[in-house]
Amino acid sequence: EEEKSLNFLEEIVEEDLKNGRYKSILTRFPPEPNGYLHIGHAKSICLNFGLAQKYGGKTNLRFDDTNPVTEDTEYVDSIKDDVRWLGFEWANELYASDYFEQLYNFAVELIKKGFAYVDDSSAEEIAKQKGTPTEPGVPNQYRSRSVEENLQLFADMRADKYKDGEKVLRAKIDLASPNMHMRDPIMYRIKHAHHHRTGDKWCVYPMYDFAHGQSDSIENITHSVCTLEFIPHRPLYDWFIENLAIFPSHQYEFSRLNLTYTVMSKRKLKQLVEEKHVTGWDDPRMSTISGFRRRGYTPQSIRTFAEKIGVAKRENLIDVSLLEFCIREDLNKSAHRRMVVFDPLKVIITNYEEGKSEILKGEDNPEDPNTTYRDIPFSRELFIEREDFMEVAPKKYFRLAPGQMVRLKSAYIIKCDDFVKDADGNITELHCTYIPESKSGSDTSGINVKGTLHWVSAPHAVHAEVRLYDRLFKVEDPSSEEGDFKDYINPNSLEVVETVYAEPALAQSKFEDRYQFLRKGYFCLDKDTSEEKLIFNRTVTLKDTWAK
Ligand code: ATP
Ligand code: MG
Ligand code: MG
């Protein structure tokens, strides 16, 4: 087997293990529970868990729940489901909010060391005093407050003596730093909001920059992997850890996944849900993990995709066809084959006895050397696809036409003798004869035909609905277009075929089952299925049919 070269994170980890910097590694996946996870998060999950797996380490699942306003336990539950579904198990389930007391004490320590101060300025004043990338910031009168005064004021902030926005705690670093994040960043703000876990216990909440690195350090995370936009935050990450003299976690950055024809931000996905452009977070057109799952994607296909795109240090836009390629490859190997007619044309087998039927065997999966078989009933009245018949056929048309023969998959060769038209000139049925000696698997007819059609026995067919999905957006990168990203929604992203005719084996479908409907695509049962109605989602077409 060809040896794969290491990505830059694997190189770092191997080096750290080799030179004894760490005996084992500990990574974390740190979602903010303010929405459902998307395929970009899947990349981060595969990366963090994959790195630990490869080097015998562990991974924590840590909810970065420091912003009480946007977070919810519904999201916590969905995130756990999604990580497990992708095939990963975390070492510990942790919450940044469990560290609130510890983080508060860290802040007190920094105040005592003269590294933090309480500032009474408004948000606007602070922004203005910070200067610009080319102009240094200017200190205000609060910056020189004494340690004692700061300790008292910070305690008062916690003790609910101030309103939102009246005071903040800032790190005292360098107002002239070329890195804006180092210009006395805010560590704590006052927010009178109910937190999904700590309730009303706190009215001061740490900012991301003060919570994230310290949480990493508390857990002894060795490699804290995040996306490129955090590069300018790294000096601050290191500054807090150094000045608190706590476990030295290190931050590394990789490029976030961007995918064509979709959006990948919880904020935007939430808008799509709330404004009802889709039916929910798990709508099969969404870029969420739960959307892909409902659409019929397998965890393996998403892991393969994450592996294929690799880990880069530059932003890029990945073609969604690569993801589709991964699911097709996976399903081609594993999906059971079934026959479903979408637009039926009746076929009467005139030389097949009326009222009679027989059971034929169909391979579940020709790609599997140990394939199982399902029963397929055959009878005098069948359905084929309307588009598989032509009254006047061109040369090299290998489907049905008057006088022409085809094989019915897993069944017999039939010949079209005649057809019936209604008053409007629509073809209503075909009259065919079958060749009894041509049965699949024991064909002694000696007849060679070029076309093979899918079909179902009309009296045995079960009705189902199919939902055919297309891309949710009309343009490759809706977020970079002019105007609102929602202006670029594809109005035809869902086509519902209310009644299709399926072979009876499909009546036994289970939610985990994946199917290839012959010549139609890959499908799975949708959760809207009821006792009355089977509903199938098209996961992906058989070929890349997207017209560029
Ligand atoms: P969003 O903007 O979609 O809300 P986020 O980064 O704010 O994304 P978090 O819940 O904070 O969402 O993300 C958890 C982890 O997943 C972080 O480490 C983040 O860097 C990573 N992540 C988020 N989006 C992507 C992406 N598109 N590609 C790779 N990793 C991502
Ligand atoms: Mg985030
Ligand atoms: Mg976010």
Q: Which atom of ligand 1 is nearest to the CA of 225?
A: 18
Q: How far, in Å, CA of 538 to CA of 520, rounded?
A: 9
When mean pLDDT is compared across 113-122, 303-312, 381-390, the lowest value belongs to: 303-312
Q: Which of 32, 37, 38, 41 gets mutated to test ligand 1 (max ligand atoms within 8 A of its CB)? A: 41
End residue of a domain, out of 210, 231, 254: 254
Ligand 1 binding pocket includes 227 (Cβ within 6 Å): yes
pLDDT number for residue 548: 37
Total tally of structural domains belonging to the chain: 3
User: Which whole-number Å values give the CA distances from 365 to 413, 536, 545, in the listed order?
Assistant: 21, 19, 23
Ligand 1 binding pocket includes 43 (Cβ within 6 Å): yes
- The ipTM value here is 0.96
In terms of residue numbers, what domain contains 366?
340-454
Residue 295 sits in the same domain as residue 438: no
Query: By the 8 A CB rule, do 499 and 456 touch?
Result: no
Ligand 1 binding pocket includes 68 (Cβ within 6 Å): no
- What global pTM score does this model have? 0.94
Residue 527 pLDDT greater than 60, yes or no:
yes
Residue 449 pLDDT greater than 90, yes or no:
yes
Compute, in angstroms, the gap from residue 31 CA to the centroid of ligand 1. Answer: 7
Number of the ligand closest to the Cα of 40: 1
Ligand 1 binding pocket includes 265 (Cβ within 6 Å): yes
Q: Which residue's CA is the nearest one to ligand 1's atom 1? A: 265
CATH of residue 54's domain is: 3.40.50.620
End residue of a domain, out of 224, 254, 284: 254
Ligand 1 binding pocket includes 30 (Cβ within 6 Å): yes
Sign, CA torsion 295/301/303/304: negative
pLDDT number for residue 450: 94
Q: Which residue's CA is the nearest one to ligand 1's atom 2? A: 265
CATH of residue 315's domain is: 1.10.1160.10
Q: Which residue's CA is the nearest one to ligand 1's atom 26? A: 40
Encoded amino acid at 387, one letter = E
Q: How far, in Å, CA of 350 to CA of 346, rounded?
A: 12
Residue 35 sits in the same domain as residue 178: yes
What is the DSSP annotation of 325-379? HHHHHHHHHHPEEE-EESSEEEEEETTS-TT-EEEEEEES-TT-TT--EEEEEEE
CATH of residue 411's domain is: 2.40.240.10
Say if 545 falls within a structural domain.
no
Residue 50 pLDDT greater than 80, yes or no:
yes
Annotated catalytic sites, by residue? 32, 256, 266
pLDDT number for residue 69: 83
Ligand 1 binding pocket includes 31 (Cβ within 6 Å): yes
Mean pLDDT over residues 376-380, rounded?
98
Residue 161 sits in the same domain as residue 301: no
Residue 440 sits in the same domain as residue 494: no
- The neighbouring-strand residues paired with 452 are 407
Query: By the 8 A CB rule, do 368 and 548 touch?
Result: no
